Each structure stands twice: as structure tokens, then as C-alpha cells.
Amino acid sequence: MTNMKTLIVMMCMTGLLPLASAQSATPPRITAADAKNHLDETVTVCGKVVDTQKVPKYGLAGHGKPVSFDLDQPEPNLVFYFVTFGAKPGGPQEAIAAYKDKSVCVTGKILGTASKPFILAADRSQIKVQSENK
């Protein structure tokens, strides 16, 4: 009976192992220009914030006003952008000051189309400012 229990536990562990390792895997790191080739995939996109798009008049309840940041190429030659929200006290201006003209890596699922791919980074922990040495 003990051997049967051990066998069942081992089979369950073996079946769950791929799920556990898939969730802990680090998403692949890609360039902003390559984002169009990874629609609907979770990746880390790295590049330099070169422009911000117009901040809308209205925000989303609980988040504030969204701010869009263009990576590597501004409009009209946009290759990738990400959207995040300004912190409550500073609003959109705080987010702009945090990322404008800086190299960043944004992790998330790429949405949009091949001509305008983006990541919605509702959680600012998805965005990492890179040091100038990288």
C-alpha cells in the first residue's frame, strides 16, 4: 500500500513540474522593434523612452490617468509603446518624470497589432529603469 501511495505522489509531482517551471521562467528579452513579432506573448521589451503620447482628459477609477511612452522611435515611426499610470500624488507628470529619456525594460503580454504593439503595465513593478552602463 505504501508503494502505491508513493507512486501516486510521484506521478502527481511529475505532472505538476512543467506547470511550476513554466510559471517561474523568466520571459524572453526582446527589442522594441522586434515586439511586432511577439503579439500575445509575455516578454520583456527593452528600449529608450523617446516620447510620451498625449495624456487623456479622463482616467480610470482606481488607477488615475494613463500615460503612453514610445520606445526607440516616436510617432509617426512608432515601433512599440507601453502604457502605465501616474502615482496618485504626482499624477501623470510623476510617471513622465520617472521614465522620459531613460532606458527601460517592460515586462508583460504584448497587445495591439503588428503596426502598433504595446504592453499595458498597470502595475509599475513591470517597468524597470536600466542603469546607463547596461
Task: Return the CATH number at 113.
Answer: 2.40.50.140
In a domain, 9, yes or no: no
Residue 13 lies in a domain: no
> Per the domain annotation, does 19 fall within a domain?
no
pTM: 0.77
In a domain, 47, yes or no: yes
Percent of the chain residues topping a pLDDT of 70: 77
pLDDT of 13 above 70: no
pLDDT tops 60 at residue 6: no
14 occurs within a structural domain: no
Structural domains of the chain, count:
1
Average pLDDT over residues 10-36: 70
Which of the two residues, 39 and 17, has the higher pLDDT score?
A: 39
Taking CB atoms within 8 Å and a gap of at least 24, the contacts of 125-129 are 126/84, 127/82, 127/84, 127/99, 128/104, 129/98, 129/99, 129/102, 129/103, 129/104
Domain that holds residue 119: 26-129
Residues facing 43 on adjacent strands: 108
